[in-house]
Structure 1
Amino acid sequence: MTDHPAPLAPALPEKVVIVLAAGLDLGQAANASACLAAGLAAPQSTWAGQPLRDADGMLSAAISHLPIIVLTADAARMAQLRERLAQPAPDGAGMTLFPAYAREIHDAAEYWTRHRQTSHRDQPLLGVGLAGPRRWVNALTGSLPMLR
């Protein structure tokens, strides 16, 4: 028996949003969305990935337990968002970036090195993933339209 309480599961965010740069082709938008969603969910084991087995015994992993809204932003709105991302995030908030240069990199270690060496304040972004309190996410994304 231990005298340490069991760790609490991290609270699920109130809202999850992915913002994509306007003008991405379908493949680029799908790739950026998948990468951003994976980056947001990875540190939060309660979001997705729980083992599931169907009636025939096929094992799979659960999809996200949270709705993920995909929005789009033109270049000016994406630049405004990028500037506001430098503000401190509230507790429990998470963010992922998909900088334009990432499209040319096909090795994770190379990307991690480039990301660490780059100031993203002036980098064009193809996408941003946000998860956290509804008020914070809404303040950053405003009235951006859904991806269509």
Structure 2
Amino acid sequence: MTDDTRIAIIVNPTLPLGLLANTAGAISIGLGARVPALAARRLTDSQGRTIDISSSLPVPILQAQAETIRSLMLKAMEQIQNRAVVPFPAFARSLHDYRDYEAAFPDRDLAEEEIDGLGLAGPSKWIKSLTGSLKLLR
């Protein structure tokens, strides 16, 4: 990633608050793992207390219906080089062990799945082209 990197997280605003928070949190972890430069830093205060930073960039949480999120995901996946695309398919909620999700995933078609949320990181122009018409989650 470069100095022109931007982040966006898009969630379905119809999700109950707890699921919405879980979706945004899980996507954030995925983005951080895919692009460690977003947060792999530490800062020390004047008293010597060191913390791990949360993010080196703003993280807007945008809203869109599941159908729109799926469409954005599919469009984003067309240009995946030097970009991060982290979807949260709704079926993942019914699986409480990651190994079950990993085993079920190859039998799924993301183009047919309901997508509760999507995280994107990449060039600013690319992010804006995908999310420019979306509203902030309120």
TM-score interval for Structure 1 and Structure 2 normalised by the shorter chain: 0.7 to 0.9
List aligned pairs for 1:7-18, cutoff 5 A.
Answer: 10-11=1-2, 14-18=5-9
Q: Which amino acid aligns with 1:110?
A: D
**Which of the pair is proportionally richer in helix?**
2
Q: Is the 8 A contact 1:22 1:75 kept in 2?
A: no
Alignment match of 1:112 (pick from 102, 117, 126): 102
Corresponding residue for residue 27 of structure 2: 36
CA–CA separation in structure 1 for the residues paired with 2:107 and 2:132: 30
Q: Is the 8 A contact 1:13 1:92 kept in 2?
A: no
Is 1:137 paired with 2:127?
A: yes
Alignment match of 2:16 (pick from 20, 25, 49): 25
In the comparison of the two structures, how many residue pairs are matched?
Answer: 138
Cα distance change, pair 13–93 in 1 and its aligned pair in 2 (3 A) = farther
The structure that has the greater radius of gyration is 1
CA–CA separation in structure 2 for the residues paired with 1:95 and 1:68: 14
Is 1:122 paired with 2:103?
A: no
Unmatched 5+ residue regions in structure 2? none
Q: Is the 8 A contact 1:97 1:125 kept in 2?
A: yes
Q: Which amino acid aligns with 1:96?
A: V
CA–CA separation in structure 1 for the residues paired with 2:27 and 2:3: 17
The TM-score normalised by the length of structure 2 is: 0.85
Unmatched 5+ residue regions in structure 1? 1-9
Cα distance change, pair 55–112 in 1 and its aligned pair in 2 (3 A) = farther
Seq. identity, % = 30
CA–CA separation in structure 2 for the residues paired with 1:88 and 1:27: 32
Corresponding residue for residue 51 of structure 2: 60
Alignment match of 1:103 (pick from 79, 85, 93): 93
The TM-score normalised by the length of structure 1 is: 0.80
